[in-house]
Amino acid sequence: MRDHLKFIAGFLRRPRAVGAVAPSSERLAREVLRHSNLGGASTVVELGAGTGAITRKILDRVQPGARVIVVELDELHAGLLRERFPRVRVCHDSAEHLRAILRRHGCRRADVIVSGLPWASMPRPLRERIKSEVIASLEPDGRLCGFGYVHAAWHPKIRAFHEGLRSNFSRVRVSPVVWGNLPPAFAYDLAGPC
Ligand SMILES: C[S@@+](CC[C@H](N)C(=O)[O-])C[C@H]1O[C@@H](n2cnc3c(N)ncnc32)[C@H](O)[C@@H]1O
């Protein structure tokens, strides 16, 4: 409940940036990471970690020596993530600066990027900038995992964005809808950026 209240407070501060009224459910977090092969990753980045619903699951799966970087735009959420997950490198920054963030942490590319970003509520230019940063920041055999909300997926602009995103990867997987999530959502796993 405490996380739900913190999340709603974040939504009230920046409704478009947060894009949801509740953190991802356990079930959705599991679907997002199902094919992510985190155990074999040396650098993992999470974009838009919120209160850490997916971060927790990432940490359960990575090797002890793996570098885990989280990028979160909301200052209070970033502070909470730092307190909660001392092992994680938390950057209070925007995902649109991903390449610079990686350089600051002594690396050029990530094996896995996990997105919690609300693509549908972002202005298009920002969405496109972040997409380019993500593709340029992945290893050649890297993968992007994330989720989308069902209610937004049918909007023509978001369909076009998803199609564009898929065309940048050689392998695409989409999960069944997780109806118990608030709001209902599906997970995607995109591998082999091209
Ligand atoms: C839908 S919430 C998801 C939170 C969490 N990953 C989860 O699944 O519960 C979106 C999160 O992305 C963050 N966010 C939005 N735009 C961002 C950006 N440009 N860079 C980094 N974080 C961003 C918001 O502050 C919010 O915490």
CA of 94 to the centre of ligand 1 (A): 9
Q: Give SS3 for 135.
A: helix
- 23 CA distance to ligand 1 middle (Å): 10
CB 60 within 8 A of CB 130: no
- Ligand 1 atom closest to 74 (CA): 25
Q: Which of 29, 135, 117, 139 is nearest to 73 (CA)?
A: 117
pTM, entire model: 0.96
Q: Exposure of 167 by Cβ count < 10 A (0-12 exposed, 13-18 middle, 19+ buried)?
A: exposed
Atom in ligand 1 nearest the alpha carbon of residue 71: 21
- The predicted-structure confidence for 91-127, as pLDDT tens digits, reads as follows 999 999 999 999 999 999 999 999 999 999 999 999 9
3-state secondary structure of 59: helix
* pLDDT confidence band for 3 (50 / 70 / 90): confident
Domain 2-193 architecture: 3-Layer(aba) Sandwich (3.40)
For 25-43, write each residue's pLDDT tens digit: 999 999 999 999 999 999 9
